[in-house]
Amino acid sequence: MSMRETPHPEGLLSNPGFSQVVIASGRRTIYTAGQVAIDAHGALVGGDDLAAQTAQAMRNVGLALAAAGAGFADIVKITTYVVNYKAEHRTIIGGARRPFFAGGTPPASTLVGVAALALPEWLVEIEAVAVAD
């Protein structure tokens, strides 16, 4: 059975949106490619709406994990890349991601502002690392 611990390091902010540290053990480590807001046919989902694109990218992360027999509860680290980052994007992205981690402790997380992604209509790209049995 895979195990995940999220200690709260003294001296570091305890944030409900992410964990500062995740200790994971299991038999398999799963790495997803960066997922963007496209559907199975390659069509953009969400237009210029960052929250809608984030939600679709998270759904795609979930599909990738499911193919490996894992789910959101198995994610130990998530990295989010956002185009032309502004401080208000953090709240939008956090709100769109939150339902995917409902009922559990969120993983360690990094948010990176970038100038562009592979296609100009993509606003966000999300990759995950999961540990499962």
Decide if pLDDT at 39 tops 70. yes
Q: What percent of the chain lies above the pLDDT cut of 70?
A: 99
Decide if pLDDT at 1 tops 80. no
72 CB-near residues (< 8 Å, 6+ apart): 61, 62, 65, 100, 101, 104
Locate tokens 């992604």: which residue? Answer: 117
Three-point CA angle 22, 133, 77, nearest 5°: 30
- Please check whether residue 54 is in contact with residue 90, taking contact to mean a CB–CB distance below 8 angstroms: no
The count of structural domains within the chain is 1
CATH assignment of the domain containing 109: 3.30.1330.40
Task: Quote the domain boundaries for residue 86.
Answer: 3-132
Closest to 123 measured CA to CA, from 51, 63, 31:
51
pTM: 0.89
pLDDT band with cut points at 50, 70 and 90 for residue 75: very high
